[in-house]
């Protein structure tokens, strides 16, 4: 059975995923192809075209299109809860009751139109809507590879109306225990404070998380923004956050998800890039509140299941909060935690497809890697290089990992473009900027001269699997940079450029079977520096999506201070940069290598 998952109902992060007989064949975000971060208000046309082309599937062969957004019955508590809680905006409340599925109808029309542009035959292919939070739940549970009963958690801004999901899975079936509905959203509160702290909601939450360790959570008490009731419900104070209509704070005609009352309480909304007081303390307090509320709700709704089974599968935008995941991993009785690497809404195309696959009788294969996007041959990379007008030098490397490791060990940042592009927000050795984590100042240099981002933002390490037990003192899998770990004291001075302010690191543990060349590079780094570790950040500049093609990589290369770019087997350098072992260099006008 061929199932195409298409996301984009919430007007951001559209993506496509293709399953054939329960196996993930391809998945990609639209932003990577159209070069527009988050691809707002777009449908995943280019991502879907890639998935179909990669699999050699004609659009008319698709059996089912799964879409992670569904109609919600008037008899569901969701629409009534929304209307009751937004009583102060009667137009919103009445609309939820009388016309509560208008967004679904609009999005269904957009999917049908997109399918027609792709060449899908809607007389043959069935369109199947899947509840947004069921898609998140499926993306975690069905792809975890866990056997036996498993607790399932979904923390998000919101889908149709639901914001948070608690449930369990067994024998392939997902069972709901509890859902919360808008405006009672943990992720919504975090997003509102993200906006207050000067970042963009649905993009800057990880910046708040990165800022938090520089502050003191005890200096300001934000606990009044949301609370857990004795019965295990969540209540958000909409006088301050998760606001709509006239209750929203506005600047230059733009409304935010917090109110003027919040500004009266905490002071002016933060501006600029500096991590300063009191905003670092607000970030710390928000992070602490987020963790405590989530952990309290997990205990209330899933604690018994976790202690009974030892397993938890987690998805939704909140699952990208790696500090929360570190604390979840320490819960009593928890032995296995799977965090969907594409936990945000881009991952719902995959989740909708897996949920539908199980419903229709396919056995879904576990997710073992995220290298699900396009790849490019040496010939394609060479053609992209030769099309450039900028002065450059390039050559084919005889020893890709050895020569790249020599550049890194000499203190140079290197752009690393290898194999299939990653699915999800993390660069995991496919589209990365790498550095040597023992080289003083390498993180500041990449932040300031290459990524052009806030200098207080941390960088993460990719490490050999055999290094993990010593460096982060665990043998728990961590292949996707979704969990932070405490770095052992004897490693903090060895790799200081990837240890955050609070002594933790968001680690990618690399396995030879999933990315042999990246593993070999880490082994070379171990040989040269004594540490099987590299600093790894995504290959993009601030405000841009991760690169997809060789052309994208070259654009980023010439738009930054990068001096070295490894495109598959080819090393590109800026004229005058010099290379390790540089004999035999040719410029872009030289003959084919």
Catalytic residue set: 12
- For residue 279, the Cα-to-chain-centroid distance in whole angstroms is 24
- For residue 332, the Cα-to-chain-centroid distance in whole angstroms is 27
Which residues, other chains included, contact 358 with Cβ-Cβ below 8 Å and sequence gap of 6+?
138, 142, 172, 173, 364
What is the radius of gyration, based on Cα positions, of the chain? Answer: 24
Whether 20 and 353 have beta carbons less than 8 Å apart is answered as no
Nearest by Cα to 176 from 134, 228, 129, 231: 134
What are the tokens at 276?
């300063």
Whether 146 and 136 have beta carbons less than 8 Å apart is answered as no
Specify whether the backbone of 347 is left (phi greater than 0), alpha (psi in -120 to 50) or beta: alpha
Which residues, other chains included, contact 109 with Cβ-Cβ below 8 Å and sequence gap of 6+?
none
Angstrom CA distances, 359 to 22, 129, 364, 470, stand at 11, 12, 11, 43
Instruction: Tell me the pairing of strands 162-170 and 173-181.
Output: antiparallel
Nearest by Cα to 481 from 511, 509, 508, 514: 508
b/e burial code for range 109-135 (CB count within 10 A of at least 16 → b): ebbeebbeebebeeeebeebbbbbbbb
Interior angle at CA 274, CA 488 and CA 285, nearest 5: 60
Which residues, other chains included, contact 590 with Cβ-Cβ below 8 Å and sequence gap of 6+?
none
* Cα gap 23→365, rounded to integer Å: 5
Whether 277 and 202 have beta carbons less than 8 Å apart is answered as no
What are the tokens at 293?
């509320």
CA atoms within 13 A on the CB side of 492: 10
* Cα gap 116→123, rounded to integer Å: 11
* DSSP, res 89: S
Whether 353 and 67 have beta carbons less than 8 Å apart is answered as no
DSSP string, 140-195: HHHHH---S-EEEEEE-S-SSSEEEEEEEEETTEEEEEEEEETT--HHHHHHHHHH
């Amino acid at each position: 059975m061929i199932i195409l998952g298409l996301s984009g109902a919430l007007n951001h992060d559209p993506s496509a995923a293709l399953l054939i007989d329960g196996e993930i064949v391809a998945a990609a975000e639209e932003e990577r192809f159209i070069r527009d971060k988050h691809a707002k208000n777009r449908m995943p046309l280019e991502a879907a075209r890639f998935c179909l082309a990669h699999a050699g599937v004609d659009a008319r062969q698709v059996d089912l299109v799964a879409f992670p957004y569904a109609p919600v019955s008037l008899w569901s508590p969701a629409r009534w809860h929304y209307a009751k809680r937004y009583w102060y905006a009667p137009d919103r409340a009445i609309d939820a009751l009388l016309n509560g599925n208008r967004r679904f109808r609009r999005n269904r029309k957009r999917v049908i139109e997109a399918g027609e542009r792709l060449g899908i035959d809607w007389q043959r292919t069935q369109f199947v809507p899947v509840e947004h939070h069921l898609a998140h739940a499926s993306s975690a549970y069905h792809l975890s590879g866990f056997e036996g009963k498993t607790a399932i958690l979904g923390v998000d801004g919101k889908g149709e109306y639901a914001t948070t999901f608690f449930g369990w899975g067994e024998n392939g079936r997902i069972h709901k225990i509890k859902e919360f509905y808008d405006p009672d959203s943990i992720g919504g509160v975090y997003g509102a404070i993200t906006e207050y702290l000067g970042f963009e909601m649905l993009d800057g939450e990880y910046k708040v998380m990165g800022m938090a360790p520089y502050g003191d959570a005890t200096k300001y008490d934000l606990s009044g923004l949301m609370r857990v009731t004795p019965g295990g419900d969540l209540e958000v104070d909409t006088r301050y956050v998760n606001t709509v209509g006239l209750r929203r704070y506005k600047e230059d005609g733009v409304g935010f998800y917090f109110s003027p009352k919040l500004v009266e309480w905490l002071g002016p909304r933060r501006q600029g890039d500096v991590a300063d007081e009191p905003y670092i303390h607000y970030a710390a307090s928000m992070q602490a509140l987020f963790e405590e509320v989530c952990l309290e709700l997990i205990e209330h709704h899933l604690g018994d299941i976790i202690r009974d089974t030892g397993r938890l599968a987690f998805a939704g935008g909140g699952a990208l909060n790696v500090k929360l995941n570190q604390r979840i991993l320490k819960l009593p009785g928890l032995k296995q935690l799977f965090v969907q690497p594409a936990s945000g809404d881009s991952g719902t195309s995959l989740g909708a497809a897996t949920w539908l696959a199980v419903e229709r009788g396919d056995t879904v294969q576990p997710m073992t890697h995220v290298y699900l996007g396009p790849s490019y041959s040496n010939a394609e990379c060479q053609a992209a290089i030769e099309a450039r007008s900028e002065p450059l030098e390039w050559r084919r490397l005889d020893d890709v990992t050895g020569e790249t490791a020599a550049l890194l060990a000499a203190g140079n940042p290197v752009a690393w473009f290898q194999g299939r592009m990653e699915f999800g927000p993390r660069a995991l050795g496919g589209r990365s900027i790498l550095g040597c984590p023992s080289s003083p100042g390498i993180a500041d240099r990449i932040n300031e001269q290459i990524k052009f981002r806030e200098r207080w933002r941390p960088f993460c390490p990719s490490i050999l699997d055999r290094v993990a037990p010593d460096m982060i003192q665990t043998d728990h899998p961590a292949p996707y940079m979704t969990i932070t770990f405490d770095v052992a004291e004897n490693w903090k001075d060895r790799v200081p450029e990837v240890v955050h302010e609070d002594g933790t690191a968001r680690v990618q543990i690399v396995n030879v079977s999933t990315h042999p060349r990246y593993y070999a590079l880490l082994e070379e780094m171990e040989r040269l520096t004594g540490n099987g570790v590299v600093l790894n950040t995504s290959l993009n500049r601030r405000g841009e999506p991760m690169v997809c093609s060789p052309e994208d990589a070259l654009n980023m290369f010439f738009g930054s201070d990068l001096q070295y770019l490894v495109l598959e087997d080819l090393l590109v350098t800026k004229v005058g940069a010099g290379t390790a072992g540089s004999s035999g260099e040719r410029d872009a006008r030289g003959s084919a290598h």
